[in-house]
Amino acid sequence: MEFYDVIRSRRSIRAYRSVPVEQEKLERVLEAARLAPSAANRQPLLFYVIRDEETRAALLEAYSQQWFVDAPVILCACHRPGEAWRRTDLKSYADVDLAIAMDHLILAATAEGLGTCWIGAFKPEPVRRILGIPEELEPVAMTPLGYPDEEPAARSRKDLNEIVEYR
Ligand SMILES: Cc1cc2nc3c(=O)[nH]c(=O)nc-3n(C[C@H](O)[C@H](O)[C@H](O)COP(=O)(O)O)c2cc1C
Protein backbone atom coordinates (compact mmCIF):
# COMPACT_ATOMS: atom_id res chain seq x y z
CA MET A 1 0.00 0.00 0.00
CA GLU A 2 1.25 3.49 -0.81
CA PHE A 3 2.53 5.33 2.28
CA TYR A 4 -0.10 8.10 2.36
CA ASP A 5 -2.86 5.56 1.69
CA VAL A 6 -1.69 3.70 4.79
CA ILE A 7 -1.91 6.88 6.86
CA ARG A 8 -5.33 7.78 5.41
CA SER A 9 -6.87 4.31 5.72
CA ARG A 10 -5.79 3.50 9.30
CA ARG A 11 -8.67 3.32 11.79
CA SER A 12 -9.01 2.24 15.38
CA ILE A 13 -10.61 -1.21 15.03
CA ARG A 14 -12.92 -2.47 17.76
CA ALA A 15 -14.15 -5.73 16.16
CA TYR A 16 -11.87 -8.57 15.02
CA ARG A 17 -12.32 -11.75 12.97
CA SER A 18 -11.32 -14.96 14.76
CA VAL A 19 -8.64 -15.64 12.15
CA PRO A 20 -5.02 -16.06 13.31
CA VAL A 21 -2.36 -13.53 12.31
CA GLU A 22 0.39 -15.09 10.20
CA GLN A 23 3.77 -15.21 11.99
CA GLU A 24 5.54 -13.42 9.06
CA LYS A 25 3.06 -10.55 9.24
CA LEU A 26 3.39 -10.32 13.01
CA GLU A 27 7.17 -10.20 12.68
CA ARG A 28 7.06 -7.49 9.97
CA VAL A 29 4.84 -5.39 12.23
CA LEU A 30 7.21 -5.84 15.18
CA GLU A 31 10.18 -5.11 12.90
CA ALA A 32 8.59 -1.75 12.03
CA ALA A 33 8.59 -0.93 15.75
CA ARG A 34 12.21 -2.07 16.07
CA LEU A 35 13.28 0.33 13.30
CA ALA A 36 11.69 3.36 14.96
CA PRO A 37 13.98 6.16 16.07
CA SER A 38 14.46 6.85 19.79
CA ALA A 39 16.12 9.62 21.75
CA ALA A 40 19.91 9.05 21.78
CA ASN A 41 19.07 5.65 20.19
CA ARG A 42 18.45 4.25 23.68
CA GLN A 43 15.59 1.97 22.46
CA PRO A 44 14.19 1.61 26.00
CA LEU A 45 11.28 -0.60 24.90
CA LEU A 46 9.88 -4.10 25.22
CA PHE A 47 6.83 -5.51 23.46
CA TYR A 48 4.91 -8.43 24.93
CA VAL A 49 3.05 -10.52 22.32
CA ILE A 50 0.05 -12.27 23.83
CA ARG A 51 -1.51 -15.03 21.74
CA ASP A 52 -2.51 -17.50 24.45
CA GLU A 53 -6.33 -17.48 24.72
CA GLU A 54 -6.43 -17.79 28.53
CA THR A 55 -3.97 -14.94 28.98
CA ARG A 56 -5.95 -12.73 26.60
CA ALA A 57 -9.17 -13.54 28.46
CA ALA A 58 -7.47 -12.70 31.77
CA LEU A 59 -6.65 -9.23 30.41
CA LEU A 60 -10.38 -8.39 30.56
CA GLU A 61 -9.61 -7.49 34.17
CA ALA A 62 -7.32 -4.72 32.89
CA TYR A 63 -9.53 -3.48 30.04
CA SER A 64 -13.08 -4.74 30.13
CA GLN A 65 -14.01 -4.78 26.45
CA GLN A 66 -14.75 -8.18 24.93
CA TRP A 67 -13.54 -7.11 21.44
CA PHE A 68 -10.15 -6.36 22.96
CA VAL A 69 -9.57 -9.91 24.21
CA ASP A 70 -11.31 -11.51 21.20
CA ALA A 71 -8.54 -10.31 18.86
CA PRO A 72 -6.12 -13.18 18.09
CA VAL A 73 -3.13 -11.14 19.31
CA ILE A 74 -2.70 -8.46 21.95
CA LEU A 75 0.49 -6.40 22.08
CA CYS A 76 1.61 -4.65 25.24
CA ALA A 77 4.25 -1.94 24.79
CA CYS A 78 6.44 -1.18 27.80
CA HIS A 79 9.31 1.20 28.38
CA ARG A 80 12.21 1.11 30.81
CA PRO A 81 12.26 4.57 32.40
CA GLY A 82 15.75 3.86 33.74
CA GLU A 83 17.15 3.41 30.23
CA ALA A 84 15.44 6.32 28.49
CA TRP A 85 17.28 9.48 27.49
CA ARG A 86 16.59 12.58 29.63
CA ARG A 87 16.91 16.22 28.65
CA THR A 88 19.08 18.51 30.82
CA ASP A 89 15.93 19.48 32.78
CA LEU A 90 15.47 15.70 33.37
CA LYS A 91 12.38 15.37 31.19
CA SER A 92 12.24 11.69 30.17
CA TYR A 93 11.68 10.82 26.51
CA ALA A 94 10.50 7.28 27.33
CA ASP A 95 6.85 8.00 26.44
CA VAL A 96 7.90 9.74 23.22
CA ASP A 97 10.10 6.79 22.17
CA LEU A 98 7.29 4.37 22.89
CA ALA A 99 4.72 6.41 20.98
CA ILE A 100 6.91 6.58 17.88
CA ALA A 101 7.53 2.82 17.89
CA MET A 102 3.86 2.15 18.54
CA ASP A 103 2.85 4.35 15.60
CA HIS A 104 5.34 2.57 13.31
CA LEU A 105 3.78 -0.71 14.43
CA ILE A 106 0.23 0.50 13.91
CA LEU A 107 0.94 1.83 10.42
CA ALA A 108 2.80 -1.37 9.46
CA ALA A 109 -0.22 -3.36 10.65
CA THR A 110 -2.47 -1.24 8.43
CA ALA A 111 -0.18 -1.89 5.46
CA GLU A 112 -0.51 -5.64 6.20
CA GLY A 113 -4.32 -5.42 6.20
CA LEU A 114 -4.41 -5.83 9.99
CA GLY A 115 -6.38 -3.77 12.49
CA THR A 116 -5.18 -2.19 15.71
CA CYS A 117 -6.59 0.07 18.40
CA TRP A 118 -4.28 1.95 20.73
CA ILE A 119 -5.48 1.18 24.27
CA GLY A 120 -4.39 3.66 26.89
CA ALA A 121 -7.27 3.29 29.36
CA PHE A 122 -6.16 -0.01 30.90
CA LYS A 123 -5.41 -0.76 34.55
CA PRO A 124 -1.64 -1.28 34.78
CA GLU A 125 -1.60 -3.45 37.92
CA PRO A 126 -3.52 -6.45 36.53
CA VAL A 127 -1.45 -6.18 33.32
CA ARG A 128 1.76 -6.39 35.36
CA ARG A 129 0.50 -9.38 37.31
CA ILE A 130 -0.98 -11.31 34.36
CA LEU A 131 2.06 -10.82 32.09
CA GLY A 132 4.68 -11.01 34.85
CA ILE A 133 6.12 -7.61 33.96
CA PRO A 134 9.14 -6.75 36.15
CA GLU A 135 9.41 -3.55 38.23
CA GLU A 136 11.82 -1.78 35.86
CA LEU A 137 9.35 -1.91 32.98
CA GLU A 138 6.24 0.22 32.68
CA PRO A 139 3.30 -0.89 30.52
CA VAL A 140 2.16 2.21 28.61
CA ALA A 141 0.12 1.09 25.63
CA MET A 142 -1.65 -1.99 24.40
CA THR A 143 -3.31 -2.87 21.13
CA PRO A 144 -5.31 -5.78 19.82
CA LEU A 145 -3.98 -7.03 16.47
CA GLY A 146 -5.99 -9.00 13.96
CA TYR A 147 -8.11 -8.91 10.83
CA PRO A 148 -10.78 -6.20 11.10
CA ASP A 149 -14.43 -7.20 11.32
CA GLU A 150 -15.65 -3.65 10.77
CA GLU A 151 -14.92 -0.72 8.48
CA PRO A 152 -15.36 2.39 10.61
CA ALA A 153 -15.77 5.75 8.94
CA ALA A 154 -12.93 8.22 9.38
CA ARG A 155 -13.27 10.35 12.51
CA SER A 156 -13.04 14.08 12.05
CA ARG A 157 -9.79 15.96 12.54
CA LYS A 158 -9.08 19.60 13.22
CA ASP A 159 -8.30 21.66 10.13
CA LEU A 160 -4.64 22.13 9.34
CA ASN A 161 -4.85 25.83 10.17
CA GLU A 162 -5.95 24.92 13.73
CA ILE A 163 -2.84 22.85 14.40
CA VAL A 164 -0.22 24.74 12.36
CA GLU A 165 1.13 28.25 12.73
CA TYR A 166 3.65 29.67 10.31
CA ARG A 167 6.11 32.28 11.54
C1 LIG B 1 -2.78 7.57 23.33
C2 LIG B 1 -4.07 6.96 22.86
C3 LIG B 1 -4.87 6.27 23.75
C4 LIG B 1 -6.06 5.65 23.32
N5 LIG B 1 -6.78 4.89 24.20
C6 LIG B 1 -7.89 4.24 23.77
C7 LIG B 1 -8.59 3.37 24.65
O8 LIG B 1 -8.23 3.15 25.79
N9 LIG B 1 -9.70 2.74 24.14
C10 LIG B 1 -10.14 2.91 22.85
O11 LIG B 1 -11.13 2.29 22.47
N12 LIG B 1 -9.47 3.74 22.00
C13 LIG B 1 -8.36 4.41 22.42
N14 LIG B 1 -7.66 5.21 21.56
C15 LIG B 1 -8.13 5.37 20.16
C16 LIG B 1 -8.70 6.80 19.92
O17 LIG B 1 -9.96 6.89 20.51
C18 LIG B 1 -8.77 7.02 18.39
O19 LIG B 1 -7.45 7.01 17.87
C20 LIG B 1 -9.42 8.36 18.03
O21 LIG B 1 -10.77 8.38 18.44
C22 LIG B 1 -9.39 8.60 16.51
O23 LIG B 1 -9.99 7.53 15.81
P24 LIG B 1 -9.16 6.71 14.72
O25 LIG B 1 -7.98 6.08 15.42
O26 LIG B 1 -10.10 5.66 14.17
O27 LIG B 1 -8.71 7.67 13.67
C28 LIG B 1 -6.47 5.80 21.96
C29 LIG B 1 -5.65 6.49 21.07
C30 LIG B 1 -4.46 7.05 21.50
C31 LIG B 1 -3.58 7.74 20.48
The band of 117, judged by pLDDT with boundaries at 50, 70 and 90, is very high
Residue bearing the CA closest to ligand 1, atom 19: 12
Residues with CB under 6 A from ligand 1: 11-12, 117-121, 152, 155
pLDDT digits (tens, 9 = 90+) for 55-81: 999 999 999 999 999 999 999 999 999
Does pTM surpass 0.85?
A: yes
- DSSP 8-state assignment for residue 21: P
What is the arithmetic mean of pLDDT over 24-51? 98
pLDDT at 1: 87
pLDDT at 78: 98
**Residue of 98, 107, 117 best suited for mutating to test ligand 1, as the one with most atoms within 8 Å of CB:** 117
Residue bearing the CA closest to ligand 1, atom 11: 119
Question: Which domains, ranges and CATH numbers included, belong to the chain?
Answer: 3-150 (3.40.109.10)
Distance separating alpha carbons of residues 12 and 104, to the nearest angstrom: 15
pLDDT at 160: 98
pLDDT at 139: 98
Side-by-side strand order, sheet with 45-50: 45-50, 73-79, 138-146, 115-116
User: Residue 142 contacts by C-beta under 8 Å, 6 or more apart in sequence?
Assistant: 59, 62, 63, 68, 74, 75, 76, 77, 119, 122, 127
pLDDT at 125: 98
Interval between CA 13 and ligand 1 midpoint (Å): 9
